[in-house]
A and B are shown apart, each in its own frame.
Chain A
Amino acid sequence: MATETQRQAPTAGAATAPAAPAGSPNGHVARVRVPARSLRSELRAIRVVWRRELIRFSRDRLRILTSLIQPFLFLFVLGTGIGSFASAGTHGVNFKTFIYPGVICMAVMFTAMFSAASIVWDREFGFLREMMVAPVRRSSIVLGKVLGGATVATFQGLIVIAIAGLVEVPYELSLILELFALSLLLAFAITAFGVMFAARINQMQSFMALMQMAIMPMFFLSGAMFSVANLPQWLAVLNRLDPLTYAVEPMRRAVFAHLDISEAARKALDPGVTWFGWRVPTALEAAVIAILGLAMLFVAIWEFSRAE
C-alpha cells in the first residue's frame, strides 16, 4: 500500500504533537521503495536464508572436519575392530561394507542436527530477531532454514558416499544417485525435526541434551550397526517404530544390490524391514521419511508463526 503521499487529517487527540520539522526534505540520500509482499519476495527470503546457511557452513572449516570424525571413527575403528570377530556371521562380507549405509545416515543426521541447532544460536545471539521482524512470512524463514540445513547435511553425506571404494562398495552411478537422493530426504527430515524442537528451546545446552536423547536411541534402534533379521520381539517392534530405520534400510538394500555375494549372506545381512511379514518396498520407506519430514516442517512453521 502506498502511504508515501497519503494525506489525512491529523488524528483527534494529537493536539500535543508538534509539527514535523519541515526542513527535512528528501536529502541527498536516495529513498528506496520496498514493494508489497509477493510470492517473489517470499522466494527471495527463502533463498537468502538458505544461502546464509551455506556461507556459514563453508566458513566453518572446523565444523566440516569435526562432523566427519564421528562417521569415520565408526566406519574404520569400530568397523575394523568389531569386524575382526564378527566375520563368522557375515558370510565373507566385510563388516565395514555392512555398516556403511548406517554411517552415511549418521553423518547426515549429525550435520542436520547441528544445522537445526544454529536456530538456537541465532536466538541467543539475536540474529533470529532480524529474521523475525522482516516483512515476510515466518514459513519462508523456516523453510529456508530447513532447506539450508538439509543442503549442508547432504553435502556431508556426499563425502561419505565418495569414500565408497574404501569399504568395497562399487562406484556405480545408479547406486550413487540413489544414496544421494536418500541422504537428501533424510537430511531434510532430520533438519525439520531439529528446527521443530529449536522453536521452543532457548538454551544451547538444553537443545544438545535433547538431541543426544533423541539421536542416540534412533541411531542404535535403526539397525545401522546390526541386521534386523531374527531380533527379539521387543527390539523388532522398536526397530520398526524408529523412523531412521526407513532411511538405513533402503540404503543398505541399494548397496547390497550392487554387491556380488552369496544368497546366505544376503539373507542374513539384508533381510529387509517387514511389517507383519510383508517386506516394505523402498518407495514406501522413502515416503515414510518424506511424510514425517513434511509433518515436522509444518509443526515447525506453526510454532514459529505463533511465537511472538
Chain B
Amino acid sequence: MSSSPASTSTAITVPAGAPAGNGAGPVPAVVVEGLVKRYGELEAVRGIDFTVAAGETFGFLGPNGAGKSTTINMLCTLVDPSGGSARVAGHDVVRERDQVRRNIGLVFQDTTLDSYLTAEENLRLHAELYGMPRGAVAERLRQTMEMVGLWDRRGDLVGTYSGGMKRRLEIARGLLHSPRVLFLDEPTVGLDPQTRSSIWGYISELKRDEDITIFLTTHYMDEAEYCDRIAIMDQGKIVALDTPQALKAGVGKDRVQIQTGDDDAAIAALRERFDIEAVLAEGAVTFGVPAGEEFVPRLFAELGQPIRSVNVSRPSLDDVFMSFTGTTIRDAEASGGSEMRRNMARMMNR
C-alpha cells in the first residue's frame, strides 16, 4: 500500500468499542491467510491475505480474470484452495464446510433460480435445503421479499421475471436464512443503470437493518465507492487495500487528458518540456500532475502542439487502480497489454 494519510480517517466509520481497543470483539467475518489457487500451470490466486471485520462492507475490485471470482468461490466452499487458509464466520472453509455454508448467503453473477417455479416456491425450496425452522419461514420470507419489493409478485413464475427482478429475488433468497456474511459476486453486472441503483438501495438498507457483513466483487469503479474498504486485485494478487477515500488520497495527482492533433508529438513534447511521461489511454494523451488546474495554463503556453480539448479530474478509483496496476480497468479488460501497463504505472507513481 502506498499511503493512507491520516486526514482521511474522518471519512471512515469508527464506532465505539472497536476491536483494537480492549482486544475483544466479534469474530471477524472473513480471515484469509496466504490463500492460493492453482489450476495446473495457471496461478489464479497467488497468495492473498486480508481480514474483513463483522458488519463491514468489503469490496473486491479488479478486471475480469483478476481472481476475484476464484477467491469468492473458495470462501463459499465451492472451490478447494491449493494453499493457505480461510475462515468465514469463524469456520474453516475446508474443514468446517457445512458451518460455513449455513452462515453465508450467496448471490452469483449468473442466476441460480429455477425459472419453472414461482418466486415463493424458489424461496421455500431454499428454506428447506437450509433446514430453516418451519415456523420461522413464512415471516422471514415475507420480510425478505418485501425488502426487495417482490412480495406482490411472489406467485409468478420466475421465468416471467426481468433480469433485475431475478437479481433482487436472489438477494432475498441469499438473505432468507439470516446469513452472517452475504457474498455478492458482481451483483449488478448486466443490469441497466436504474436497476443497478435500486440494487444498491437494497444493499444500503441491508447494512442498516441487518447485522450482516457484505462481501462483494465488482469491476465498476463507482460501485466500489459504496464499500467501507476495497481490496484492489490484479493478476491474482491484492495490490492495495484501504478505504476508498484513503486510496484516492494516496494517489496525490490529478488526471489530465488532452486531445491533440498529433498524439505522438504531444507525448514527446511533454517528455521534453515538462519531464512528464504521458501515455495514450482511452483515446487521449493521459498523465498525472499535482494540482492539475494550475498546470493547464502552462501546458497551453509551453507545449508547442495544438490542443483540442483538456480534461482535468480529481483522483478517482480509476486512478487508484491505474496507479497500482498501470492501466485503467477498462483497458485492462480490453487488452491486458503488459508493456502499456508498466508505462502507466511508472507515470502515475513518479
Contacts and interface: CB of A to CB of B under 8 A. Distances in A.
Q: Do A and B come from one complex?
A: yes
Contact of A23 (B15, B18, B143): B15
A17 B14 CA distance: 11
Interface stretch (B110-118, B296-304, B322-330): B110-118
Nearest to B52: A17
A34 B132 contact: yes
Q: Which of B52, B131, B143, B180 has the most CB of A within 10 A?
A: B131
Given A3-B99, A8-B90, 9 more contacts: A17-B28, A18-B13, A24-B210, A24-B212, A30-B143, A34-B178, A52-B125, A55-B121, A308-B78
A253 interface: no
Interface of B: 12-20, 23-28, 31, 33, 49-56, 76-80, 89-91, 96, 98-99, 101-103, 106, 108, 110-117, 121, 124-126, 128-133, 136, 139-140, 143-144, 147, 176-178, 180, 207-213, 228-229, 241-243
Contacts of A48: 124-125, 128-129
A294 to B, nearest CB: 25
B157 to A, nearest CB: 8
Given A10-B25, A19-B18, A27-B210, A32 B133 contact: yes
Specify which of A6, A9, A19 lies most central, judged by the most chain B CB atoms within 10 Å of its CB: A19
Contacts of A16: 50-51, 241-242
A34 B139 contact: no
B19 A41 contact: no
A38 B143 CA distance: 27
A18 B101 contact: no
A125 interface: yes
The main secondary structure of chain A at its interface with chain B is loop
Given A11-B28, A29-B147, A19 B108 contact: no
A55 B116 CA distance: 9
Residue of B56, B115, B210 with most chain A CB atoms under a 10 A cut-off = B210
A8 B27 contact: yes
B116 A132 contact: no
- Most B-side CB within 10 Å, residue of A11, A21, A22: A21
Given A126-B111, A133-B76, A52 B117 contact: yes
B53 A37 contact: no
Given A28-B209, A52-B117, A136-B131, A20 B15 contact: yes
A65 interface: no
Nearest to B29: A20
Contacts of A59: 116
Contact of B55 (A20, A45, A131): A20
Contacts of B98: 37, 135
A34 B211 CA distance: 16
8 contacts: A7-B27, A10-B23, A17-B56, A20-B19, A24-B211, A27-B210, A32-B133, A52-B125
| Closest 7 pairs (CB-CB, A-B) | A20-B55, A19-B18, A22-B15, A41-B131, A27-B209, A48-B128, A14-B51
Nearest to A40: B131
Nearest to A129: B112
Contacts of A17: 19, 28, 51-53, 56, 229
A19 B14 contact: yes
Nearest to B105: A133
A99 to B, nearest CB: 34
Interface in A129-168: 129-136
Given A10-B23, A11-B51, A26-B211, A129 B31 contact: no
A47 B128 contact: yes
Interface in A36-93: 36-38, 40-41, 44-45, 47-49, 52, 55-56, 59-60
Contact of B113 (A9, A19, A127): A127
A11 B31 contact: yes
Contacts of B180: 3
Contacts of B129: 44-45, 48-49, 130-131, 134-136
A35 interface: yes
A125 B115 contact: yes
Contact of A1 (B99, B131, B213): B99
Contacts of B76: 133
Given A7-B24, A20-B55, A24-B211, A130 B126 contact: yes
A232 interface: no
A19 B117 contact: no
